[in-house]
Structures are given as structure tokens and as C-alpha cells.
A and B are shown apart, each in its own frame.
Chain A
Amino acid sequence: MTSAILDYLNTLCQVFGRGWNRFWFTPSDPFALAPVRIGAGLMAFYLVATYTPDLETFFGHKGLIPVESLKSLELQARNVRPFLPPTIRETLPRGSRFSYLDYLPNDTGLWAAHIAGLVVLALFTAGCFTRLTSILSLVVFLSYVHRGPMLTAQVEPILAFVMLYLCLGPAGRSLSVDACLAARCPTEPVAPPRQSSSMARACASVPQFSGSVAATVAIRLIQVHLTLVYAMMGIGKLAGEVWWNGLGMWWLIARPEMRLVDWTWLAAYPKLVAAWTHLQVAFELGFAVLIWNRTARPLILALSVVVWVFLAPVTGLVTFSLMMLVANLAFVSPSWMRSVLSRRAKSVLQVDQPIQVAGAA
């Protein structure tokens, strides 16, 4: 009996170990990170750029959020934290915080730092010096989050972890300025170009890449963390009565200030509202499980597009919905994205030869 248990435990450890290694350490195509980098970069750029009209109003001298107030709010909220509404607790100033915006002596410095931050984010999005700009972009983005946490909502926590994990992988290997530069000045042997334009080549791949373990780790981290988010979103809904009695979506549709489109006419169809409510919960819970099934994955990804595209105008959560779609790209096959982009590049640039995709075994 004891030996049977030991055998079982031994087999369990071996199988788990092999699975763990295969999951985290099998080299993969770094192309998977490129669309995520572009999406996350654009989102971070947009979020920071939209601070521009209100930069001094929020963070300037006599702004709405002085640094001292953040510290005092953090200290005073510590003791009363359990009594505050949960939606407020999530975005209170943290005990550990860093923002370079805290240390700027005047509004001129604030503007200079703001413009510099936008330049960094633009470079990261374009994939220019990506190893460096990915880290700098994370610092820029988090500085704005920590400087005004009460201005943040659902999108920032998602973007924060995506940008963090992009720092770990070779996010600039494809669809980037780095890739263009590498194509022009190859340091490794390159397969001979076959009448395709340099732009198309750079668009589609980086010369002679091999599978990357860092890419696997980065993409897996995004996938696992995103799954946790979906699971928590679904479980969170199950804890609320409105998501059981079919009124959850109504609570989003009927908020008069936030929504972009008025769908209150759905009040005449309460069963439709209830169906939407239940489907939303089912999708979020289902995503966390079914996305790991290779056959179900394309369907779940297609459904996610429908879910977030419909949710964005109704709730006004446009950036959050877009960010969820960007994060979902971590589950899309790089070879499929390559083939789509190659077809696009061929049709736009009229490349009559197939684009070389080196290293795609």
C-alpha cells in the first residue's frame, strides 16, 4: 500500500514536472508578444496623453491632488479601510508608492516630464530600443497611476501587469523599429531576401530568430494572470444578487452619466436584459476554464470580441474593454497572426513572393 502511494506520488511529480517545464520553458515564437506590445503601448500612450488637458489641474501647483494629500489619505484610510466602499478601497493611494511626478519642482518640470513620458511610450509602441523602453514605459505608466490613484479604474490594473510581463520577453523582436534595424544590419546570417520589400520583411519577422524561452515565460505570465482576472471577475459577479436576478446589465445600461449609448429601451425586454446578464457571467467564468482547451480557444476568443465590443458603449468602459481584447491577444497563435499580417502586407505592398518567415518550424 505504502509503495503504491509512493509510486503514485513519484509519477505525479514526474508528470507535473514535465508539464511544468513544457508549459513555461518550451521556446516559442516571440512574434506573439508584438501585437500585445503594440496594443498595450497604444493604450498606455492614450491614457497618459489624455492627462494632457488636465495635467496642471490634477498634478500641478495647487492641483486637485497634492502629493501631501495622497500621503495623508493613505495614512488616515488605513484604520478605516474596512468601512470604505470596496470600489474606493481598490484605488486608494498605496503605502509603497513611487512616482517621479512627485519630485518635480514646478509646472514647467511637470510638462517636461509629461512630454518625455509620452516620447518613451511612443518609442515603446514603435518597438524602438524595446528592451530599455519597455522598462521605462512601465515606470512612466506606474508613475501616473501612483500620482493619481483615485483617477484610475478597471483598465490600469490590467495594463500594469501586461506591461510588466512585456519587460521580461523579447517584445521588440517583430513588428518594430528594432526589427527593421536588425533587418538592415543583420548580426546573424540572414536568409536571402526574395524580392520582398524591406518594410514587408521587417513587418513580418526578424531575420533568423529561433524560439525564445523568455517569450514563452512572458506570454504564459500574461495568459495565467489574465485567466485569474477573468475568474475573479466571474466569481465577483456571483457574489452579487443583481448578477443572479438578471438585473446586472441593467445596472450598467441605466447609469446615465457613464454610458456612451442609451440602451434603456431594453427595459421593455427584461428577459433580454436577464439573458445578457447571465451570458456575461457565463462567459467570464467559462473563459477562465475553456481558454486552456485548444479546440475551444478560438471560439472563446471570438466570443470575447463580441462581449467586449458590446459592453464598451453601454458601460462607457471603452479603454477597459479594449485592454481586455489586447490582453486576449496573448492567447492568439503567432503563426496565425503572421499569416494574416503577411497576407495584408502582400496585398498592400504588392509583394509577389512569399515573405520569408525564418525559424518558424
Chain B
Amino acid sequence: MHAADPANSISPNDDAGMPSQGVRTVISFLLFLHFFAVAIGMASSWSPSALTAAVRRVPTVAPYLELLWIDASYFPLHRLTQGNLEDTDALVEIEIQNADGVTTQATFPSDEMWPHQRFRRYARFAEHLAGLAETESVASLLPQDVAVHFAGDVDPKKIKGTLRCRRHKMLDLSEATSSDRTVRDPYAERLYEDVYSANVRQFRGQIQVRKIEAKGENAPAAGSSSKETP
């Protein structure tokens, strides 16, 4: 197998077949601008300095990078893991009961999803719920949409339900090699941790989720009383 090397593939002569110097200058300038913007995108997406953040705010830089989706830093996602809680799996469980007592339950991502890309999309969505859960101002934005979606067209006044997002932590090396089957079970209950729990209720005629304050506390069954944040 030979390596691709356009510089040597066609012509041994300098300038042979190349565009005119003016065209080369224009293209070179555009290439420079492009890679400068890509570098700014990489630097400002990860941990922006005052300079990179300011350059990104220059008109046309941010729209250029963001519209073309080339502003990724290729850092947090592409390093695959950092050994943090955010690098563990997340799943969302929702249970909604209408006035007739009919209960809708859903968990995503689900093992039944095929092909695997579908599973990964729901997994990423669940990771966002879990990742935003710690930040009060954005914690309930996605759960709200999940609740509205699963409530369907049921009259909001008659809805009761719960929604929770859980992290599924993994075994460490010593647990995975344990002779005790319960210790090396990757789906043992002790490996799950609630990161967001909320009640689904109607409020001013609309479905709303109300985060349950106590962190780590399981969402109670629909209908039971609990302390809620308005």
C-alpha cells in the first residue's frame, strides 16, 4: 500500500498545473482564515480564555463555526472517558398515570432499541438530562419535554406521575474479579444513583415537572406526597 501524497502524484515540476499566483494567494488566505477559525472553535469550546472567547464573538466567526458544526474541541467527547461520573451511563424512567388509573411507563434507552445507533441517541439524551441535573436553571428543561411527550393528549388536570434520571455506575477492577456473583453483577441496585427526580403534575393548566429537592432520594410513587420545589 502506498501513501497518498498529492504533492508527488502528478507533476515533478514546481508550479506545473497549479493555478495562477493570484488564485493561490486568495485560496491561501481563505485556508488561513478557515483554520484560524477552526483553532478558535477548538480553543473556545473547551476552556475559553478571554482572548479566544472574544475572537469567537467577532461577527461571522461564531456563525461560521456553529452552522457548519466545526466548533467542536474534539476534547471531552473524543477522549472517550475521563474517569468521572459523567462518563457513566444514564437512563431515564418515567411513569404517568391518567384519571382512569391507566399508567404509562417508559425507560430509555432500552435494550430493545435496534439498530444500536438508536440506543446511543436515547442514551445521549439521557446523559444530557443527567448532566444538566446539577445546574438548577437548566435542570428541568429537558424533563419537562419528556413529561409532555409521554403524557400525550391526556387532560393535564388528570395527570400524576414521576420522572427520574439515574446514573448507572460501573464495576471497578476488584469488583469485576470478585468470586461473589452479587458483587460482580454489573446491574446490581447499588450501582444505580438517582441524579434527578421529579413529580409530574399539572400547574396552571399545563403539564409541569417539579424537581424533588433531596438529592439522591428516589421519586415517590405517583400520588404520594413529597416536598417539591415550585
Contact = CB atoms under 8 A, between A and B. Distances in A.
Given A26-B7, A151-B124, A237-B79, A94 B68 contact: no
A96 B66 contact: yes
B138 interface: yes
A229 B38 CA distance: 11
Given A29-B10, A229-B78, A57 B149 contact: yes
A33 to B, nearest CB: 11
Nearest to B85: A85
Nearest to A156: B69
A213 interface: yes
B78 A318 contact: no
A98 interface: yes
Contacts of B62: 95-96
B145 interface: yes
B121 interface: yes
A150 B125 contact: yes
Contact of B145 (A66, A86, A88, A255): A66
B229 interface: no
Contacts of B149: 57, 62-64
Given A90-B45, A298-B2, A255 B28 contact: no
Interface stretch (B97-105, B165-173, B197-205, B218-226): B165-173
A240 interface: yes
B118 interface: yes
A197 B157 CA distance: 71
A77 B5 CA distance: 44
Contact of A23 (B7, B89, B132): B7
A335 B35 CA distance: 29
A126 B12 CA distance: 33
B35 A264 contact: no
Nearest to B31: A24
Contact of A247 (B24, B121, B173): B173
Contact of B2 (A84, A96, A336): A336
A190 B47 CA distance: 55
Contacts of B117: 46-47, 50, 318-319
Contacts of B72: 90, 157
Task: Tell me which of A247, A255, A298 has the highest count of chain B C-beta atoms within 10 A of its own C-beta.
Answer: A255
Contacts of A232: 42, 73-75, 78
A246 to B, nearest CB: 10
B173 A257 contact: no
A48 to B, nearest CB: 10
A228 B76 contact: no
A29 B10 CA distance: 8
Contacts of B58: none
Nearest to A250: B173
A23 B28 CA distance: 11
A132 interface: no
Nearest to A319: B117
Interface stretch (A171-179, A219-227, A345-353): A219-227
B145 A83 contact: no
Nearest to B67: A96
A100 to B, nearest CB: 13
A142 B168 CA distance: 31
A80 B137 contact: yes
Contact of A151 (B6, B80, B125): B125
Interface of A: 18, 20-29, 32, 46-47, 50, 53-54, 57-58, 62-66, 69, 72-73, 76-77, 79-80, 83-91, 94-98, 142, 145-146, 148, 150-154, 156-157, 160-161, 164, 210-211, 213, 215-217, 219-221, 223-225, 228-229, 232-233, 235-237, 239-243, 247-248, 250-252, 254-258, 260, 264, 267-268, 270, 273, 294, 297-298, 301-302, 315-319, 330-336, 361
Interface of B: 1-11, 14-15, 17-19, 24, 27-28, 31, 34-35, 38, 42, 45-46, 62-63, 66-84, 86-89, 91, 109, 115-121, 123-125, 127-128, 131-132, 134-135, 137-138, 141-142, 144-146, 148-149, 152-153, 168, 170-173, 176-177, 186-187
